[in-house]
Chains A and B, each alone.
Chain A
Amino acid sequence: AQSVAQPEDQVNVAEGNPLTVKCTYSVSGNPYLFWYVQYPNRGLQFLLKYITGDNLVKGSYGFEAEFNKSQTSFHLKKPSALVSDSALYFCAVGRGNNRLAFGKGNQVVVIP
């Protein structure tokens, strides 16, 4: 079964420091990987996706993610975190018919 794992519950980072949110995947076949962000009391917003091509994917709000096949990882990164990046981040893998299987989410807290 296609699945992703987000091993950390919460990530704390000081404003201006690099931010990394970890995700590992387990799929049969080619992986289709996504990152979404959820701000308080709002729906999920798409950040970026990996379907094929370059392993480094650039997305919205300065985020990027690196697809690593040997480590089965798709970590989300931002070089310099902002307080406004504080939110819940979900990694997801696409299954048939574009159904998404989500990880449990990571709460990111950016400390001023």
Chain B
Amino acid sequence: GAGVSQSPSNKVTEKGKDVELRCDPISGHTALYWYRQSLGQGLEFLIYFQGNSAPDKSGLPSDRFSAERTGGSVSTLTIQRTQQEDSAVYLCASSLDNSLYNEQFFGPGTRLTVL
């Protein structure tokens, strides 16, 4: 079956522009996670959605970052007024639910470069 997909695979933008990153989770997975992988910070949690509950935004690094999940499926991560330090690979993952017994399946990521 289809795994987690992300688009675009690469995004180059200029400092100050807004970007949107998309994640399509595995069908039927109620939990969706965004992570950021950067050279200096490793892999860090950003935000988490579970069903129709309010998202856990505790990992978002600033108010320039936001995310939504429409219809309990597709998610969009938006970064406003991008800065060079936002350059990283943004990974999306989904799991059957938020139980620790269920593994997370990761997408291939979106590589964001802010010039």
Do A and B truly interact? yes
Q: Which residues of A are in contact with B by a Cβ distance under 8 Å?
A: 32, 34, 36, 41-46, 49, 51, 90, 92, 94, 97-105
Q: Do A90 and B107 touch (CB < 8 A)?
A: no
A93 to chain B, nearest CB (A): 10
B104, A105: Cβ atoms closer than 8 Å: no
CB distance from B40 to the nearest CB of A (A): 10
B interface list, Cβ under 8 A from A: 4, 31, 33, 35, 42-45, 48, 50, 56, 59, 91, 93, 95, 98-109
B89, closest chain A residue (CB): A43
Q: Is the CB of A97 within 8 A of B56?
A: yes
In the complex, chain A residues whose CB is within 8 Å of the CB of B101: 51
Could you tell me if B43 and A102 are in contact, using CB atoms closer than 8 angstroms? yes
Given contacts A42-B108, A43-B108, contact A49 B103 (CB under 8 A): yes
**One of A34, A43, A49, A99 near B91 (C-beta < 8 A):** A43
The answer to whether residues A43 and B109 also contact, given A49-B103, A98-B31 and a CB cut-off of 8 A, is: yes
Minimum CB–CB distance from B50 to chain A (whole Å) comes to 7
Known contacts A34-B103, A42-B108, A97-B48; can you find 10 more A-B pairs with CB under 8 A?
A41-B108, A46-B103, A51-B100, A97-B98, A98-B100, A98-B104, A99-B56, A102-B35, A102-B43, A104-B42
Q: Which residue of A lies closest to B59 (CB)?
A: A99
Across the interface, which residues of A come within 8 angstroms of B109, CB to CB? 43
24 intermolecular pairs with C-beta atoms under 8 Å apart: A32-B100, A41-B108, A42-B108, A43-B107, A43-B109, A44-B91, A44-B106, A45-B106, A46-B105, A49-B103, A51-B100, A90-B43, A92-B43, A94-B100, A97-B31, A97-B56, A98-B31, A98-B33, A98-B48, A98-B95, A98-B99, A98-B102, A99-B48, A102-B43
